Chain A
Amino acid sequence: MHPARSVILFTTLSGLGFGLLFWLGIGLPKATGWIAFVFFVIAYALAVGGLLASTFHLGHPERAIKAFSQWRSSWLSREGVCAVAALVVMAIYGAGLVFLGERWAILGWIGAALSVGTVFTTSMIYAQLKTVPRWNLTLTPFLFLTLSIAGGALMAGEVSWALTLLPVAAAFQVAYWITGDTALRRSGTTLASATGLGDVGQVRAFEPPHTGPNYLMKEFMFVVGRKHAVKLRIFAFALGYAAPILLLTVPFGHWEAALAVVCHLGGVYVSRWLFFAQAEHVVGLYYGKR
């Protein structure tokens, strides 16, 4: 799949933003007033910034309001509804904390649930697609959720939670990579099943439909990016998981914490880039590509 920058930025930033909103919602840390204000500003900048970035890949962003209508069937629509609900509920809850010093716990719990729900619906947009076997895994939502909550703990300064959850997320990440590498083969979809010509003999793509490229080839066949996949995985793992864990275990202050967050963000970005760049869409088979 073509790794569109807007979508990678969206899933990375929003994942972290909604992760932080989850922790603020359940009342960890128990901040009020100015401190709560700073936390909420960071969380909203990430979550809303990500959502705005995601609209850049739309052909007609001016019609985006229509995307809230099909929540009965569409995960993308559910994501939109969930995100707006989470942001509205958390804004009311945040206003209570910042301006009145009051913590409306039930509202916080609802907001936390909606925040996690938003990340889940995002992950299901990818996990539902049978056409991309590497995404069509139970591990996909687990990876998105653990990453978001672990990253949120890191942002919220919940060091003990971050130290527990980052290794869990790292384990899901490695499991996802290992399982994903064989997903296309295990799906059973081949050029033979795609053309139905397997009974005749060995099928080989002889001629593409046109000499030039097309939308399908640009969108779904991103072969170049897989060249450095192993190196990038090591990079993502070291930056996204190992570095923050190390930085949190040594005695640290605000600067080390900030560095841990930046490392984590960079690592997740690389991991999310690979999530797209390595994903094989089955339509590539028709073109003799993966």
Chain B
Amino acid sequence: MTQLPETTTRKLGLVIDLDTCVGCHACVVSCKGWNTENYGAPLSDQEAYGADPSGTFLNRVHSYEVQPDDGAAQLIHFPKSCLHCEDAPCVTVCPTGASYKRTEDGIVLVNERDCIGCGLCAWACPYGAREMDAAEKVMKKCTLCVDRIYNENLPEVDRVPACVRTCPAGARHFGDLGDPDSDVSKLVEERGGMDLMPEMGTKPVNKYLPPRPKDRIEDQIDILAPLLAPVAEEPKGFMAWLDKALEKI
């Protein structure tokens, strides 16, 4: 059913820390690795070793240069995947009922057996979170690793999305954003977590933590700096003669 649920019991989602992300793309690789061999159709590649390789990814990392009015430009790495919106426009446009939002945890999923591959849900998503697989001709999207987070065959530490589990910088956090006392909700509160394109009215569950203000390099880098000034002087006497003589040879 492609009507959205009035409310969901929980709002599972990700909190992505733009201050901490180092842009290593490990989350991209682990996401593709897990999801190509688990939930639904594999994530195919086209011409993987050819001149013009492309493929399906559920998570991609952009990099942006941000130039403040004064001071140095900053490079900010920006992972982007499905935001599991509360008011998900991709779900309501689906003509077959293949796209749906789960009542119990708010995860947005695609039932691939019902997907006709019309692509309208990808048109409706402002974030580019949905990609049509070129081999399977069905719509692929982040499942929040629904086959990991409830999977009792995995050790408890692994019951988080693959991207969160693999992030070496600790820039990705997973939890219930509907519970104000959860760790992720506290983190969002503390760091001023934000929505992407709030004007679209999609009410994303995933939040992004803005980069912290950078330290400013004032006139002097360090109080010890003057002591590091070069001490070499022009040579005198015998050393001066030797210097000249050696130059001439």
- Per the 8 Å Cβ criterion, residues 145-192 of A in contact with B are 187-189, 191
The answer, yes or no, to whether A282 is at the interface (CB within 8 Å) is yes
The answer, yes or no, to whether B181 is at the interface (CB within 8 Å) is no
- Per the 8 Å Cβ criterion, residues 87-123 of B in contact with A are 89, 91-98, 114-120, 122-123
Asked if B200 contacts A75 (CB within 8 A), the reply is no
Asked if A204 contacts B64 (CB within 8 A), the reply is yes
- Per the 8 Å Cβ criterion, residues 184-238 of A in contact with B are 187-189, 191, 193-197, 199-210, 212-216, 219-220
Count the A residues whose beta carbon is within 8 Å of the partner chain — how many?
Answer: 59
With contacts A60-B115, A69-B96, A187-B199 known, is A212 near B134, CB below 8 A? no
> What's the Cα separation between A73 and B94 when bound, in Å?
8
Which B residue's beta carbon lies closest to that of A218?
A: B54
Contact mask A53-65 → B, CB, 8 Å, 1/0?
0000111110110
Q: Given B53, B57, B92, B134, which contacts A74 in the complex, CB threshold below 8 Å?
A: B92
CB contacts between A and B, total, < 8 Å: 192
From residue B65, how far is it (CB to closest CB) to chain A in Å?
A: 4
Which B residue's beta carbon lies closest to that of A193?
A: B197
Which A residue's beta carbon lies closest to that of B195?
A: A196
- In the bound complex, residues from chain B placing their C-beta under 8 Å from that of A207 are 62-63
- In the bound complex, residues from chain A placing their C-beta under 8 Å from that of B146 are none
Asked if A203 contacts B64 (CB within 8 A), the reply is yes
Asked if A70 contacts B211 (CB within 8 A), the reply is no
The answer, yes or no, to whether A48 is at the interface (CB within 8 Å) is no
Question: Which of A30-38, A39-47, A110-118, A125-133 lies at the interface with chain B?
Answer: A125-133
Asked if A75 contacts B93 (CB within 8 A), the reply is yes
Chain B at the A interface: SS class:
loop
With contacts A197-B64, A202-B67, A204-B64 known, is A67 near B116, CB below 8 A? yes
Which B residue's beta carbon lies closest to that of A279?
A: B123
Asked if B123 contacts A281 (CB within 8 A), the reply is yes
- In the bound complex, residues from chain B placing their C-beta under 8 Å from that of A194 are 126, 196-197
Asked if A282 contacts B126 (CB within 8 A), the reply is yes
Asked if A129 contacts B123 (CB within 8 A), the reply is yes
The answer, yes or no, to whether A80 is at the interface (CB within 8 Å) is yes
The answer, yes or no, to whether A140 is at the interface (CB within 8 Å) is no
Asked if A129 contacts B124 (CB within 8 A), the reply is yes
- In the bound complex, residues from chain B placing their C-beta under 8 Å from that of A58 are 116-118
> What's the Cα separation between A61 and B138 when bound, in Å?
11
- In the bound complex, residues from chain B placing their C-beta under 8 Å from that of A59 are 115-119, 132, 136-138
Asked if B120 contacts A219 (CB within 8 A), the reply is no
From residue A240, how far is it (CB to closest CB) to chain B in Å?
A: 25
The answer, yes or no, to whether A12 is at the interface (CB within 8 Å) is no
Asked if B75 contacts A206 (CB within 8 A), the reply is yes
Asked if A74 contacts B122 (CB within 8 A), the reply is no
Asked if A125 contacts B120 (CB within 8 A), the reply is yes
The answer, yes or no, to whether A66 is at the interface (CB within 8 Å) is yes
> What's the Cα separation between A206 and B73 when bound, in Å?
11
User: What residues make up the interface of A, taking CB atoms closer than 8 Å to B?
Assistant: 1, 57-61, 63-64, 66-70, 72-77, 80, 125, 128-132, 187-189, 191, 193-197, 199-210, 212-216, 219-220, 281-283, 286-287
5 closest residue pairs by CB, A with B: A59-B117, A59-B137, A209-B60, A201-B68, A77-B95
26 contacts between A and B (CB under 8 A): A66-B114, A70-B95, A74-B92, A77-B96, A129-B89, A131-B200, A189-B126, A193-B199, A194-B126, A195-B196, A196-B194, A196-B210, A199-B210, A201-B67, A201-B73, A205-B62, A206-B64, A207-B62, A209-B60, A209-B61, A210-B54, A212-B54, A214-B54, A215-B56, A215-B122, A215-B134
Q: Besides the contacts A70-B94, A189-B126, A205-B64, what 7 more A-B pairs have beta carbons closer than 8 Å?
A: A59-B119, A129-B124, A193-B198, A196-B210, A202-B67, A204-B67, A215-B131
User: What residues make up the interface of B, taking CB atoms closer than 8 Å to A?
Assistant: 1-3, 18, 28, 52-57, 60-69, 73-76, 78, 80, 89, 91-98, 114-120, 122-128, 131-132, 134, 136-138, 194-201, 208, 210-211
